[in-house]
Chains A and B, each alone.
Chain A
Amino acid sequence: MTTLAPSPTRSQAGPAAARTTMWSATKLVAGREIVVKLRDRTFLVSTILFLVVAAAGTVLPALFSDGSSTVAVVGAGEVGGVLDRAGMEVVAAADVAAAEQLVRDGEVDAAVVPGDGAGGIRVLAMDRTPDSVVRALSSAPPVHLLNPDAVDPMLAFLVPMAFSMVFFFLSITFGVQIAQSVTEEKQTRIVEILVAAVPVRALLAGKVLGNGALAFGQVALIALVAVISMQVVGSDAGLLAQLGPAIAWFIPFFVVGFVLMASLWAVTGALVSRQEDISGASGPAQLVIMAPFFLVIFLNGNPTAMAVLSYVPFSAPTAMPLRLFFGDAAGWEPVLALLVLLGAAALCITLAARLYEGSLLRTNGKTSLRAAWRERETRVS
């Protein structure tokens, strides 16, 4: 902009203000939510904490795992070659006593010395059997896996946990924040100015959108940090490929599921007049977050239960991606479940909008759902 029009001297003709549309109002409200949150120290600290945990969770196991062992070997021979081929560092020791000393000093993890065992060798170690060394020196029978695609049991435990936790924590933390933000506006009465200026639905949509963007941004950041740390420590790259499709489906389910939860929390916030009362009114919202969380955690080994949970709107955001991860769902199933979830979210936000409108300007104590539903205020133009 090169020149500025002179400050308009106001006449009755009307101000420079264009009218705010529903969408521009929604964007403004969402923008404020984001800016306020990004300056909130608690939010920043918790985000950083999440990132540290995500990085630590991927880096530390790699650091503490066996890694390559160092093995002392007495006398050159085929043993040293075998261990070397198995990826271990081989140190030559003069005699059994020297090898034992190396083990005691912690210079090596184990020592292979002449002995009377099979193959004429004996393995020395401090306090636990060095499995990798034993495996390398044993002759293993051929193994034929009948279900080679089955998920590693460790992953089968961790992945449902991770998905459920992410959805659970974000639904709760951002849900409570939405409720608090709604109640703050009610409590300070700024809501009267806001409602006079913009449609009530724009306020609701803006809050859901703003907090949704923050929640999604936080997850994306955490995921990014986890992936980068995995690359840095060279963890199993196959895991990412394995998780890929489940994560790709988790994103749309997460987004729609979040909108569903957020609308419940917005109503929770609108029903009370003081921030202190939110926790008392948030029972239903907490229930529909907690129950699916525990059901998915405890029942994820049960295909029938999971099939049901993957279509129930509140548990679908975690249950369906998990079924995909375990390879239990047909290709059309996530599409159908997502449609069901979309329908539920649309219904829920429509009901929420009405309850929100009906309770937002009632600033005396707690508004009952019934009163909020029947309220006829503010539904003008």
Chain B
Amino acid sequence: MLRVASVDRSYGDRRVLDDISFEVAPGRMTGFVGANGAGKTTSMRIILGLLAADSGTVTWNGEPITRAVRQRFGYMPEERGLYPKMKIREQLVYLGRLYGLTALAARRSVDDLLDRVGLAERANDPLEKLSLGNQQRAQIAAALVHDPELLILDEPFSGLDPIAVEMIAGVLRERADRGVPVLFSSHQLDVVERLCDDLVIIAAGAVRASGSRAELRSRYAAPHYQLVTDGDAGWVRDLPGISIVDLDGARVVIELAVPDDDQAVLRAALARGPVRAFGPIVPSLAEIFREVTQ
């Protein structure tokens, strides 16, 4: 369990992180969501020890994070970087050894990984000869080479084509399923929505919401229901305790003043004719994001 507790950080007079607290739990993919400049990269750099926090603590399994602990973290920086002229396999082995693997273990791990991310045939090409998408795959492999206990990935999906997104997502999910906490930032909300178990939403240097995806949905979802009938659904506005969010012919989205009134609405609709669809609307991550960051 990675725990970030009350972390502050300023650059000069500008406060970029204000009392940030959140957790990344074992086996969970935690999406770190926020606009550009919200503080995602700064938070990640503090977790990795690349930046110092002004105050607050970051702990791993309850212990402060020393270099020995950090060597068991995997990190993918936002701005990609590997040696352009070095062969992929060679530089991944080098990184693996810097993380403390033996030469043999590093080579084995790199070969497995390159195979897994679909770069086995390019193993002996210098990085600069690869397409951007393939460079990104190599970058993911660099974060995984030492079989890390925690993964911190800054925008791992930006710039990837959909096939590569699926493949990387699959690799990360495998790691999470083996019990590794995965923290990844993204501003592609649809990708985060599909992949994450937990969410941390950050805006202007402060955590606005955090928790499991389902929990956040129910917490920030206004009680909206959708009703689809055969005829015009305009009659709904005459029901008590209801306001119409959106009306489009036979389809209406309503907000209930009292959540338990949903069955009364359904009964009223059935009394008027066939009901094609009725149910609560699950808010998208984009909607939650809009709501908590406003």
**A-binding segment of B115-123, B143-151, B197-205, B211-219:** B143-151
Question: How many whole Å from B227's CB to the nearest CB in chain A?
Answer: 47
Which of B67, B81, B147 sits near A15, CB closer than 8 Å? B147
Name which of A1, A28, A190, A363 has the most chain B CB atoms within 10 A of its CB.
A190
Tell me if B71 counts as interface (CB < 8 A to partner A): yes
Question: Within the assembled complex, what's the spacing in Å between the Cα atoms of A19 and B104?
Answer: 16
Query: Once the chains are docked, how many angstroms separate the CA of A192 from the CA of B179?
Result: 25
Alpha-carbon distance A15/B48, docked complex (angstroms) = 18
A10-B178, A12-B26 as given contacts; A194 in contact with B98, CB under 8 Å: yes
Complex-state Cα separation, A380 to B48, whole angstroms: 10
- A197 & B149 in contact (Cβ 8 Å cutoff): no
Select one of A1, A9, A184 contacting B83, CB under 8 A: A184
Contact with B along A180-202 (1 / 0, CB 8 A): 00001100111111111111000
Q: Is B225 an interface residue (CB 8 A)?
A: no
Count of chain A residues with Cβ under 8 Å from any Cβ of B? 41
- 9-residue interface stretch from B72-80, B185-193, B249-257, B274-282: B72-80
Interface contact A17-B72, CB-CB below 8 Å: yes
Report the Cα distance A197→B71, complex, angstroms: 5
Tell whether A36 is near chain B: CB-to-CB under 8 Å.
Answer: yes
- Chain A residue, CB-CB nearest to B181: A12
- Cβ contact within 8 Å between B50 and A20: no
CB of A18 within 8 A of chain B?
yes
Number of interface residues of B (CB under 8 A): 46
CA–CA, A381 and B45, complex, Å: 15
Question: By the criterion CB–CB under 8 Å, are A197 and B52 in contact?
Answer: no
Main secondary structure of the interface of B (DSSP, over half): loop
Give which listed residue, B49, B68, B112, contacts A196 with CB less than 8 A. Answer: B49
CB closest residue in chain B, given A11: B179
Closest chain A residue to B100, Cβ basis = A17
Q: Are B81 and A192 in contact (CB under 8 A)?
A: yes
| Contact call A190/B71, Cβ cutoff below 8 A | no
**Residue ID in chain B nearest A190 by CB atoms:** B81
A25 interface residue (CB < 8 Å to B)? yes
Whether the pair B82, A188 counts as a contact (CB closer than 8 A) is yes
Q: Which 9 A-B pairs have the closest CB atoms?
A: A189-B81, A17-B100, A190-B81, A188-B81, A192-B77, A15-B147, A20-B100, A19-B68, A12-B179
| 23 A-B residue pairings within 8 Å (CB atoms) | A1-B104, A4-B104, A10-B180, A12-B180, A15-B101, A15-B146, A15-B148, A17-B100, A19-B68, A19-B100, A20-B99, A28-B97, A188-B81, A188-B83, A189-B77, A189-B81, A192-B75, A192-B81, A193-B81, A193-B143, A197-B70, A197-B98, A379-B52
Which residues from chain B sit less than 8 Å from chain A, CB to CB? 26, 45, 48-52, 65-68, 70-73, 75, 77, 79-86, 94-95, 97-102, 104-105, 108, 112, 142-143, 146-149, 178-180
